[in-house]
Amino acid sequence: MTTAGEVMAGVVMVGGSGPSDRHNDTYFPPIRRYLVDAGVAVLSYDKRGVGGSSGEWRDATLDDLAADAVAALDFLRAQPGVRPEAVGLFGHSEGGWVVLRAATTARVGPPWVITNSCPGVTPAAQERHALSRALRERRSARQDVDIDGSLALFDLLVEAGRRGAGFTEAKRLVESAGKAAWLGDYWPEVDERLWEFLKRKQDHDPVPDTLRLRCPHLAIFGGADPLVPVAESIHRFDTAACRPDRHHRATLTTELFPGADHRIHPAHGTRPAPGYLTGLTRWITGHADGRPLL
């Protein structure tokens, strides 16, 4: 946990997919420093089985990961000098799915939630989108790339997961597809344990969680994000926000940074896009008077 001086608000930061630690690679530290300097207490943590955390994230469900986020939320609320009613949740990428679920399952919900490059679609749909884009880029350099065959193989793997197929069958599908079928970053590190994790989460739909929100939601996207179907995600979040049965406090603010990537960095940049840190901080401190809902 990091604090500096008088605390106006607090935020739990949840990392993205894979073995993300408290720093989410190198992504969280500059955001964390900026928020702390602005009077926001920040807590980020190692995912299960990563860094100083016990357990194994590949054995978890998204509900398990959400329970970890709720535990972190309760811990930060209990710290001296932190106003518990002003502590919210921030989730990057997969972490966005996690904090949306955490916000709806916490005994005392947060006063606000932020999703950062979080797909508004299922993991399977998001991975297919990312693969399709990567295939088109790869095809420009290598004409032997079979785009249709690769996407067909991906669809077969998704259907196999829905049938509960084991890792042996999944490997057989990949091996029988031949070298022209390329799965990009989706497949190379998949082992039996990761296959089971992917099967469990592939059809998770974040929209039902957004419908159960009882607090403001800030959804941030990079306009050039190669991993997320940004337009479709915004459309799905917007449609959910317009539902008449949504809680009256569950407002939606969407922030799009044109030309920014999955980490909201400008093209070929390694720092946050102009206006990102100031806007994020302004939104958090502007909601510091919000109240958690039972």
Residue 139: what pLDDT? 75
pLDDT score for 294: 39
Count H helices and E strands in the chain, helices first: 10, 6
Q: What is the pLDDT of residue 99?
A: 98
- What is the per-residue pLDDT across 53-111, written as a single tens digit (0 to 9) for each? 999 999 999 999 999 999 999 999 999 999 999 999 999 999 999 999 999 999 999 99
pTM exceeding 0.75: yes
Question: Token digits for 149?
Answer: 């065959």
C-beta separation of 47 from 35 below 8 A: no
Q: What is the pLDDT of residue 5?
A: 57
Is 199 in contact with 164 (CB distance < 8 Å)? yes
213: left (phi over 0), alpha (psi -120 to 50) or beta: beta
DSSP string, 12-26: EEE--SSS--TTTTT
Query: Is the Cβ–Cβ distance between 126 and 110 less than 8 Å?
Result: no
Beta bridge partners of residue 114, listed in sequence order? 90, 218
Q: What pLDDT sits at residue 146?
A: 87
Taking the C-alpha atoms of 20, 63, 210 and 100 in order, what is their torsion angle to the nearest 10 degrees?
A: -30
Structure tokens at 254: 């969407």
Residues whose CB falls within 8 Å of the CB of residue 229, separated by 6 or more in sequence, listed in order:
119, 121, 125, 126, 129
Q: Note the pLDDT of residue 272.
A: 95
Q: Are 87 and 12 in contact (CB under 8 A)?
A: yes
In this prediction, the residues of the chain whose per-residue pLDDT falls under 50 are 292-294
Task: Quote the pLDDT of residue 249.
Answer: 94
The CA distances from residue 232 to 35, 54, 67, 129, 235, in Å, are 30, 36, 28, 11, 5
